[in-house]
Amino acid sequence: MNASHKNAEELDVSPQTLTVKEQLILAGEQLFGQKGIEGTSLREIATKAENGNNNAVRYHFGSKEGLIQAIFHYRVAQLEPYRAEMFKIAKAKSTLHDLRTLIEILYLPHLQICDDVGRHPYIAFLLHYLLYYRPKGMMHVADQASPNGPNLYLLLKLLRERFFYLDPDVLERRLLTANVTFFSVVLFHDELTQRLDQSTFREVLSDTLEQIVAAFNTPVRPME
């Protein structure tokens, strides 16, 4: 993996005291990733957040989908500084034309969001959303320009411009496949009884990113 990721890791994104909303967001994210969105009740989320009000989620977010969108906004905003720094490095090196660079900017910042034991609850939540709820039409904050996710929106715009010759449905399908591939590799590592050392894990991730680059560039061929 290139130096842009190293520089992103060195950014200081310091944790702040959690508000009630943030506690509910983190509790919802964790439970949705573990039990699924349908399998998690709003009461369970309030309990997980150590909130005595069982209606806390409805009070702060209106509904379960409102909480899901709040998770997106919360995490996308946290990932923005990493992507901004990686964009800055790529522009300085004139590598924004390089697909591997764009793929790294898209995926590597997710590694920064982990819990106190090194697992990636946001990735687990995202994977569940992508497999079961995006196909049903549930939107993500990146589907339109957003003030808290301009770098993510720009990144997806650059990818779409690069693959202008692909049918939009084909590109969306390839993006979904890439998401599932990368996130699954990270979650598989999370579940290993004995995790790989950092150097080996980075090699695995680098190989995964190369597979994603190759998949994006594969010619479209009809079934025979």
Chain mean pLDDT for the chain: 91
Domain that holds residue 107: 3-15+76-217
CB 60 within 8 A of CB 69: no
Q: Please report whether residue 104 resides in a domain.
A: yes
Return the pLDDT at 102.
Answer: 98
**How far apart are the C-alpha atoms of 149 and 52, rounded to whole Å?**
32
Is the entire prediction scored with pTM above 0.85? yes
Asked whether the predicted pLDDT for residue 146 surpasses 80, the reply is: no
Residue 168 domain flag: yes
Residue 199 lies inside a defined structural domain of this protein:
yes
Q: What is the mean pLDDT of residues 192-211?
A: 95
Taking only the tens place, the pLDDT of each residue in 122-138 is: 999 999 999 999 999 99
- In-domain check, residue 96: yes
Is 50 a domain residue?
A: no
Kindly state the tokens that stand for 89: 């490095």
Instruction: Provide the pLDDT for residue 144.
Output: 83
* 17 DSSP 8-state letter: P
Confidence of residue 9 (pLDDT cuts 50, 70, 90): very low
**Residue 11 confidence class, pLDDT cut points 50, 70, 90:** very low
8 Å CB contact between 67 and 133: no
DSSP letter at 223 equals -
Number of domains making up the chain: 1
Q: Is residue 41 part of a domain?
A: no
Burial of 223 (0-12, 13-18, 19+ CB in 10 A): exposed
Asked whether the predicted pLDDT for residue 170 surpasses 80, the reply is yes
Q: What is the mean pLDDT of residues 140-163?
A: 90
Q: Look at residue 13 and tell me whether its pLDDT is greater than 60.
A: no
Q: Contact 101/90 with Cβ under 8 angstroms?
A: yes
What mean pLDDT comes out for the span 59-63? Answer: 95
- Is residue 39, in this structure, part of any structural domain at all? no
Distance CA 163, CA 200 (A): 32
Report CA-CA distances (Å) from 109 to 12, 20, 74: 13, 25, 14
What sections of the chain are H helices per DSSP?
3-9, 20-35, 42-48, 56-61, 64-93, 99-107, 121-132, 150-162, 168-191, 198-217
User: In this structure, are residues 185 and 204 in contact, taking their beta carbons and an 8 Å threshold?
Assistant: yes
pLDDT at 222 (0 to 100):
84
Q: Please give the angle made by the CA atoms of 216, 184 and 98, to the nearest 5 degrees.
A: 30
Span of 74-78, 140-144, 163-167, 204-208 with lowest mean pLDDT: 140-144
Mean pLDDT across 174-178: 96
Q: Is residue 128 part of a domain?
A: yes
- Cα dist from 107 to 36, 37, 100, 130, whole Å: 22, 23, 11, 15
